[in-house]
Amino acid sequence: MTRRLPPLNAVRAFEASARLGSLTLAADELCVTPGAVSQQIKKLEDYYGRQLLVRRNNQLQLTDLGQSVYGTCAELMDRLAAMTQRIVGGTEQSHLIISVLPSVGVRWLNRRLPEFLAAFPELRIDLRLEEDPVDFFRNRIDVRISYGEHLYQEFITVPFARDRVTAMCAPELLRSGRVQPGAPDELRDEDLIHTLWRTGFSTYPTWESWLAAAGAPRSVRTETGHKTDTVSLALDLAAAGAGIALGQYLLAADALDSGALVAPYEIAPSLSFQYCAVYTPAGRQNPMVRQFVDWLVERGRPL
């Protein structure tokens, strides 16, 4: 039976444009003009009788059909590339582009990556610190580490850690008597370090919610304490003795292990969402993506 295949040059042009989010970038990769890429995409759309890409705000976006076609095309291209790499002898190094939330990147992932890289000495990574949302195709992201299972519903999302949050401070603050273990109701507003979470987080812990969970509900005067917009900086201030911060165990693990920070209270409610590894359907064909996600799952549990 004769195979019915779409025009393959058109498939290449479409896959590159969808992956890169740009006709110009696709043209550079394919060594043709943007006009030639546009013509090839039009040829593929005529073949299917449906629109695959649309321009919005100077960006290329996939239609529902385009997303389905792209997933299959990208998977096939990845498999062809992997086969070619094996045939020519595997002389090139493997690369993995990892996009991660800044605090997770600088306080957890970067301190554990050497373990993963030691198991795969041929691998080279491109580590990018970015807030959600990110553009997988334009930035060629292989794996995204995000907070929440709901952000990239068209992709594969693998939860790997549900973090907990509690009050953390330097041991010197305990010795000074400014913090009394077992008495959260005695915490002073001027000693509290506040994290002003960014708009991308739909739910987040606050001192008022933590105090309510600790059985000591009250209003907190945020203007009397220190403020920062990342948990990482709040933990640094706490470790320096500037006050007491709401810290996440995932991010503070090393400081707690070394004794730079202590957690004087047992109250540690879980965050509303989990940290997740996210990758495109085509990433299932990339063995390094699978290895990295499996490693995250192993390293992230339990907390």
As a whole number, the mean pLDDT across the chain is: 90
The counts of H helices and E strands in the chain are 11, 11
Distance CA(51)–CA(72), nearest Å, equals 16
126: three-class secondary structure by DSSP: strand
Burial label, 302 (beta-carbon count in 10 A; 0-12, 13-18, 19+):
exposed
Mean of the pLDDT values across residues 218-247?
A: 94
| Identity at 45, one-letter amino acid code | E
Does the CA dihedral 189-195-196-201 come out positive or negative?
Answer: negative
Answer whether 264's CB lies under 8 Å from 181's CB. Answer: yes
CA 244 to chain centre: 27
Place 173 in a pLDDT band, splitting at 50, 70 and 90: very high
Give the highest mean pLDDT range of 23-27, 190-194, 284-288: 190-194
Local confidence band at 90 (pLDDT 50, 70, 90 cut-offs): low
Model's pTM, two decimal places? 0.70
Give dist(CA 179, CA 17) in Å, integer. 57
Q: How many other CB atoms sit within 10 Å of the CB of residue 240?
A: 11
Strand 156-161 with 123-129, pairing: unpaired
Distance CA 20, CA 196 (A): 34
Q: Does pLDDT of 199 surpass 60?
A: no
Fold equal for 8-87 and 94-160+273-300: no
Helix (H, G, I), strand (E, B) or coil at 71: helix
Q: Under CATH, to which class is 94-160+273-300 assigned?
A: alpha beta
Check if the beta carbon of residue 225 is closer than 8 Å to that of residue 189.
yes
Given pLDDT bands bounded at 50, 70 and 90, which one contains residue 152? very high
CATH architecture of 165-258: 3-Layer(aba) Sandwich (3.40)
User: Strand, coil or helix: what is 57?
Assistant: coil
The CATH architecture annotation of domain 8-87 reads: Orthogonal Bundle (1.10)
DSSP state of 217: -
* For residue 303, pLDDT beyond 60: no
Domain ranges of the chain: 8-87, 94-160+273-300, 165-258
pLDDT at residue 60, as a whole number:
87
